[in-house]
Structure 1
Amino acid sequence: MLNDRSQLLFKNLMGLYLNDGKPVGSSTLAKLPEIGLSSATVRNVMADLERMGLIHSPHTSAGRVPTDQGYRLFLDSILTYKPLSNQRVESIRSELTLGLNQDELLENASKVLSDLTGLTSLVLMPNKEREVLRHIDFIALSDKRVLVVLVFNDQDVQNRIIELDGGLSIDELQKTANFLNENCLGKTLSEAKGMLVSRMDKIRATANEFMSSIVEATDFILTEQLEKKVPFLVSGKTNLLNYKELADSEKLKALFNAFDQHNEVVNLLDKSMQAQGVQVFVGGECGNPIYQDCSIVTTPYISDGEILGVLGVVGPSRMNYEKVVPNVDVTAKILGSLLKK
C-alpha cells in the first residue's frame, strides 16, 4: 500500500513515462505544480518506490521507469477508465457493420481495433468444429453451374459455384437440398461432415450422378471450412514501428515471428477465454521473453451467452491504457452483438 504522497508521485511518474517514454527524474517531478515537494523529498520517495520494486533506473539514465510490478499496481489500483461517448460507440459500430459474414466481420474488427488504438490487433477465431450448420441451399445459375449456399451459426455464409458435367435438374436440385437439410441441419460442422462421410458410399450407390456430385461438392465445402488453419487474425503489425522501444529490427523480427508461429499467442488468448472482462498482461506476464517491454490487452467476445473467441491488442508496455482498454472492451461487445444478429 502506498501512502498519499507516494501514490501522488508514482501516478505522476507513470503519466510522464507513458506519455513520452523517457525515464523520469526527481527534479522533473518536483517542478510539477501538483507535487508541491522539494527535490530532496521527491528523491527520498522515489528511493522508497524503488525499494518496493515499483520503479528502477535503466543503465542509460539517472531517471526512473516503472517495472512490471509498477505497471500492475498502476493498472489495478490507480488508473481509472472513462467510458466511451455514445458518438464514439456508434462510430465503431458503423465501421464494424461493413462485414458481410462472420469471417469478414472478424477481419473488419481486427482492422478497426488496430486503427482505433494505433497498435497491433489480435482476434482469436471461433472454433470451426463447433459451428452449427443452419441452412443449405442450391441456386441454379445456368445449365451446368450451381451456387452452393451454406449458412453457419446464422451469421457465417459460405458460397461456392460448382460446375456440373451433365445437365441441370431443378427437381433433383431441390431433392438434394431437402436431403441435406433433413440430415445435417442443427449439427456441428464435424458432425455434418461425419454424417456425409459415413453415408457417401450409399449415396453413390443409390443416388444418380447429379445428386452424388452435389453432395460431394457440399462435403468439400464443409471440409474446406473445417480445415481453415488461421487460429487468429493480426492487423497493424507495422504500427509497432512507431514506438522506439520496439523499433529495433531484431526485436520486431522476434515479435513478428511469434505472431506467425501462433502457439505462444494462442495459449495466451485461450487463457483470456477463461477470464471475465478485459485482461492486461504486462511484460513477463505475457509468458514469453519476446514480449518484454510489451503489454497485451484482451477480452472475450460473446454471442448469446457463449464465448466465441478473444479480441485484443499488442503494444509497448507504456501504451495509453486509458484509451486502449475502453476501445478493446467496446469493440468486443459490439462484435458479439453483431455476431448474434
Structure 2
Amino acid sequence: MVSERGLQVLRAIVQDYVDTNEPVGSKTIVDRHQFGVSAATIRNDMALLEDEELIVAPHTSSGRVPTDKGYRVFVDHLAELRPLSGAQRAAISTFLADPVDLDDLLMRTVRALTRLTGQVAIVQYPSFARASVSHVEFVHLGGTRIVVIIVTDTGRVSQRVAFLQGELDESDAARVKVAIAALVTGKPVADAAQAISDLCAAPAGASRVDDAVRTVARIVAEELDDFRQDRLVLAGSATLARREGDFRGSISPLLEAIEEQVTLLSLMGEMVADEQGLAASIGRENASFGLGEASIVTSDYDGAGTRARVGLLGPTRMDYPTNLAAVRAVALYLTRLLDEDDSSR
C-alpha cells in the first residue's frame, strides 16, 4: 500500500523525469522538493513504489523512472491541469479565428496544437450521420467540364471537378442543375444518397440531359459517402522523429497508424472520458493497437450536434497536465466556434 507521501514522491519522479529525461534519485528529490525528510526515507518510499510497479530502475544506477502504471496513477490521482497562459490562449483564439469552412478550422486546430505542445495533434471530424445537404451547386465550365459543389448544414463543403460524357449547352446545364438540387437539397446525407441510388437503379433516359443528371448524381453520391466516413486531421508527425529517443523500439508503428488512421480512430473510440470530457490512454494500454510505447490524451468537443475528439499523440514521457489542459482549451474553442456557426445559419 502506497502512503500519501509515497504518492507525492511518485508525483516528483514523474515531473522531474518529464523535465530532464534522466532517472530520478532520492537525493535529487530531497534537493528539489520540500518533503522535510531524509534521502534514506525517500529511498524507502521509492522501494515501496517499485514494489507496486509504479517506478523502475532503467539500469544499475540509483535513479528511477515511471512505469506505464505509474503514469496512470499520476494522471488519475495526482496530475493538476496547468491553466494555459494568457498568451497561449490568445494565440489559440487568433489562430482559429475566421476559418473559411470546417476543413480549414480543423486543419488550423491541429497546427495550433502541435505548435503549442510539440506533439502529434489529432482532431476527429464530427459525425455527419445527421447532417443534411443544404446546397448543391453545378457549375458548367463549358463543353464537358463541370464543377460540383456540395454544402451540408454542418458546414462541410466538397468541391469536385469532373467531365461529362457529352457536351451541354447552357439551357441543358440549367436543367441538370435544377434536377440535382431537387434530388438532394434539404435531405439528410443518408436519404440523399438513397435518392441517388434509386435514380441510378431506374431505367436510363435517352437524352443527354438524363445522362448528365446521372453522371452528376454519381459524383454527388461519392462525395456524400466520403462525408459519412470517420476521418481525422493530423499535424506534427515530424515531432516523432525528433523525439525518437523517447521510444524504446521503432516509431514505425506510430507512423503507420498516423498514415492509415483506422487504428487511431478505433483507439480514440474506445477511450473513456471523465466528467470533464478528458481521457488518456497510456503505453501498454495501447498494446492491442500496436502502440504500446505511445500515449494519447484527448478532450471531447461538440460539433454538428454530435461529439468528437481532439487529442495529442506522443511518447509516454509527456507532460500530461499541460497536454490535457491544451486539448481541453482547444476543444472549448472548437465547441464555441461551431456553436456560433450553427446559430448564424
For the superposition of Structure 1 and Structure 2, which TM-score range results when normalised by the shorter chain? 0.7 to 0.9
* Alignment CA distance shift 1:273-1:333 (3 Å): farther
* Correspondence 1:17 to 2:27: no
Q: Quick one: distance in 2 between partners of 1:203 and 1:129?
A: 29
Partner of 1:282: 282
Partner of 1:252: 251
Is the contact made by 2:246 and 2:317 (CA closer than 8 Å) also made in structure 1? no
Cα shift readout 1:265-320 (whole Å, capped 9, x = no counterpart): 2211112387651101111222437433421101233125411x322111121211
Number of aligned positions between the proteins: 337
Partner of 1:231: 231
What is the CA-CA distance between 1:183 and the residue it aligns to? 3.3
What is the CA-CA distance between 1:226 and the residue it aligns to? 1.6
* Correspondence 1:329 to 2:328: yes
* Correspondence 1:168 to 2:169: yes
* Alignment CA distance shift 1:77-1:327 (3 Å): same
Is the contact made by 2:123 and 2:309 (CA closer than 8 Å) also made in structure 1? yes
For 2:138, give the aligned amino acid: F
Partner of 2:309: 310
Secondary structure, aligned partner of 2:111: helix
Q: Quick one: distance in 2 between partners of 1:255 and 1:60?
A: 30
* Alignment CA distance shift 1:189-1:39 (3 Å): same
For 1:221, give the aligned amino acid: V
What is the CA-CA distance between 1:163 and the residue it aligns to? 4.9
What is the CA-CA distance between 1:14 and the residue it aligns to? 1.8
Secondary structure, aligned partner of 1:251: coil
Cα shift readout 1:125-167 (whole Å, capped 9, x = no counterpart): 3445554211122345557654432112341122234556434
Aligned pairs for 1:107-186 (under 5 A) are 107-127=107-127, 130-142=130-142, 146-163=146-163, 165-170=166-171, 172-186=172-186
Is the contact made by 1:149 and 1:157 (CA closer than 8 Å) also made in structure 2? yes
Partner of 1:71: 71
Q: Quick one: distance in 2 between partners of 1:289 and 1:169?
A: 54
Is the contact made by 2:107 and 2:233 (CA closer than 8 Å) also made in structure 1? yes
Partner of 2:40: 40
Deviates more, 1:11-20 or 1:87-96: 87-96
* Alignment CA distance shift 1:79-1:273 (3 Å): closer
What is the CA-CA distance between 1:173 and the residue it aligns to? 4.4
Is the contact made by 2:271 and 2:280 (CA closer than 8 Å) also made in structure 1? no
Q: Quick one: distance in 2 between partners of 1:60 and 1:291?
A: 27
* Alignment CA distance shift 1:291-1:161 (3 Å): closer
Q: Quick one: distance in 2 between partners of 1:175 and 1:255?
A: 50
What is the CA-CA distance between 1:199 and the residue it aligns to? 1.8
Q: Quick one: distance in 1 between partners of 2:240 and 2:274?
A: 27
What is the CA-CA distance between 1:223 and the residue it aligns to? 0.7
What is the CA-CA distance between 1:264 and the residue it aligns to? 3.1
Partner of 2:52: 52
Secondary structure, aligned partner of 2:182: helix
Q: Quick one: distance in 2 between partners of 1:244 and 1:210?
A: 58
For 1:325, give the aligned amino acid: L
* Alignment CA distance shift 1:148-1:92 (3 Å): same
Partner of 1:193: 193
For 1:271, give the aligned amino acid: E
What is the CA-CA distance between 1:325 and the residue it aligns to? 0.9
Share of identical aligned residues, percent?
Answer: 26
Q: Quick one: distance in 2 between partners of 1:270 and 1:55?
A: 29
For 1:166, give the aligned amino acid: E
Q: Quick one: distance in 2 between partners of 1:140 and 1:80?
A: 57
* Alignment CA distance shift 1:169-1:201 (3 Å): farther
Q: Quick one: distance in 2 between partners of 1:143 and 1:289?
A: 50
For 1:54, give the aligned amino acid: L
- In structure 1, stretches of 5+ residues that fail to align are none
Secondary structure, aligned partner of 2:61: coil
* Alignment CA distance shift 1:147-1:305 (3 Å): closer
Partner of 2:318: 319
Partner of 1:221: 220
**TM-score (structure 1 length as normaliser):** 0.84
Q: Quick one: distance in 2 between partners of 1:191 and 1:297?
A: 36
**TM-score (structure 2 length as normaliser):** 0.84
For 2:196, give the aligned amino acid: L
